[in-house]
Amino acid sequence: MTERPVDLSQLPSNGAPRRSLFSARKFALMASVVAGLGAAVYGFSPQQGPLDVFTSAANAQVNTEVRKVERPIGFADIVERVKPSVISVKINIAAKSSKDDSANKDEDSPFPPGSPMERFFRRFGGPDGLPPGLRGGPRGGRGPVTGQGSGFFISPDGYAVTNNHVVDGADKVEITMEDGKVYTAKVIGTDPRTDLALIKVEGRTDFPFAKLSDSKPRIGDWVLAVGNPFGLGGTVTAGIVSASGRDIGNGPYDDFIQIDAPVNKGNSGGPAFDTNGEVMGVNTAIYSPSGGSVGIAFSIPASTVKSVIAQLKDKGSVSRGWIGVQIQPVTSDIADSLGMKKAEGALVAEPQQNGPAAKAGIQSGDVITAVNGEPVKDAKELARTIGGLAPGAAVKLNVLQKGQDKVINLTLGQLPNTVEAKADPDKEDKGGPTKGTSVPKLGLTVAPANSVAGAGREGVVITEVDPKSAAAERGFKEGDVILEVAGKSVASVGEVREAIDAARTENKNSVLMRVKSGGSSRFVAVPLAKG
């Protein structure tokens, strides 16, 4: 028997509205839901009849398992414990004189033009390039500047940590605690290279303080940012650790923790807490095209804070170890040219004359692979490792020198505070254009350096670069001086060609060159053209 479509118009109505059928259907549907609920609540067994599942053994087991699942835990207890240690930092910078204005082209910026922090905030800061928390009058104004940031006590006697860019140049520093009490603070010391500052509040020995963590945070750990965003007072935001070891172009010691807890202007210098209530880092910068939080913030690790603050407290400044070398990363092309299996370590572009490295026998082209037995991953890690050691310390360096592994011992010097000025070759008289000789396999035209005024006495100077060549892609430009090719010093076009031919005979895919540009040296691996 087959079912036939039902013509609803032919059904007897008995005077009832036609929608009664739909109402009945709706009722039936609701009834089935109720019946289902009833079955779910009471159960039914064909043999035994209704069954109360609330008293059954199976359901008791389910309820027991449900009780074991903990409810989401908030951060209220942690915040209640740590928030009193966080302070608001307010600074005042007196009005600038006309002389000061002429010395600093950008009146709004607290950093010297061209400095690492100025470049960073110009790139990642707000629309005016100012760091989070600092604000002043209109551009070009000479009035006083005020700023607001954050900080936190690290000891009961009033020592507190904040950012260098929050208090740098301040004539007056005031801190406000969570309970509203205001104190005047003194700047004990600052370290622009890590953007840290130590301040001190006198008059009490019972300030609430936070502990710097001894452990390294893991990616994915919870993080709480507490600070003074937009001058609003103590605010708490939560997120996770997104990454570690971030380099934001601030300097050679960059090793930031990246967090996604909302951090805004005014949070600078504030702490980032872990779930143990310990400070994992100091919030110092945000990536903010709009001026507000977009979920990318950077914190200085607690390990760095400890070492820097200890020196600031002891002598008001930071001394770092120094070996006196220009270094660069080991790329895969460079590793291939040097016969290395992995692209690791730090390549010495040039040892500074009379520096600790040069005196110990380190040469251009050496690769430093370990410090005191600890492997060096890259050039940044070498800079951080050496900078974290005290001047005068004895260190043991593992070095790959001309294909041979060596161990070199040296005593660290002290990192100079200033960089020696060097002549700009672009401003020197080169005695007119020099045509030079083409090296087709490289896409370069070169001439002996001693034949071009201002190019020096060593190497060959580049007079022309083929814009479609691999050399152009790797940054070679007119005026650069090639000092070495494949580890051999060159002074003529013939020596350049001989070195290239030797590399091709050894079936190398690229040739390593040491190039002098703008007063500094670097190594560049240039692919060899086939044929």
What amino acid positions are annotated as catalytic residues? 165, 195, 268
Distances (CA, A) of 114 to 99, 104, 109, 250: 20, 11, 11, 11
Residues of the chain by 3-state class (helix, strand, coil), percent to 5: 25, 30, 45
In angstroms, the CA 23 to CA 59 distance is: 37
Rounded Cα distance between 451 and 233, Å, is: 66
Which residue bears the tokens 């607290």?
Answer: 110
Which residues contact residue 498 at a Cβ distance below 8 angstroms, ignoring those fewer than 6 apart?
Answer: none
343: helix, coil or strand? coil
Q: What is the DSSP letter of 106?
A: -
Torsion angle in degrees (nearest 10) through CA of 517, 428, 115, 120? -50
Q: Which of 449, 400, 407 is nearest to 425 (CA)?
A: 449
DSSP state of 318: -
517: closest CA among 487, 483, 493, 485? 483
Task: Look at the block and give the residue holding tokens 């800079």.
Answer: 383
Contact 482, 515 (CB under 8 A): yes
CA–CA gap between residue 241 and residue 220 (Å, rounded): 5
> What amino acid occupies position 527?
P
Which amino acid type is present at position 450?
Answer: N
Per residue, what are the HEC states of 1-67? CCCCCCCHHHCCCCCCCCCHHHHHHHHHHHHHHHHHHHHHHHCEECCCEECCHHHCHHHHHHHHHHH
Q: Smallest Cα–Cα separation from 161: which of 279, 322, 26?
A: 279
Residue 292 token pair: 């507000």
Beta strands in 102-248 (DSSP E): 134-135, 145-153, 159-163, 172-176, 182-191, 196-201, 222-227, 235-246
In 233-264, which positions are buried (b, 16+ CB within 10 angstroms) versus exposed (e)? ebbbbbbebbebebebebbbbbbbbbbbbbbb
Cα–Cα distances (Å) from 140 to 98, 99, 102, 120, 324, in that order, read 11, 13, 11, 21, 40
Structure tokens at 74: 């908030």
CB burial string 123-156: b at 16+ within 10 A, e below: ebbbeebbbbbbbbeeeeeeeebbbbbbbbbbee
Tokens read off for 161 = 């940590």
What does the alpha-carbon distance between residue 44 and residue 51 come to, in Å, rounded to a whole number? 5
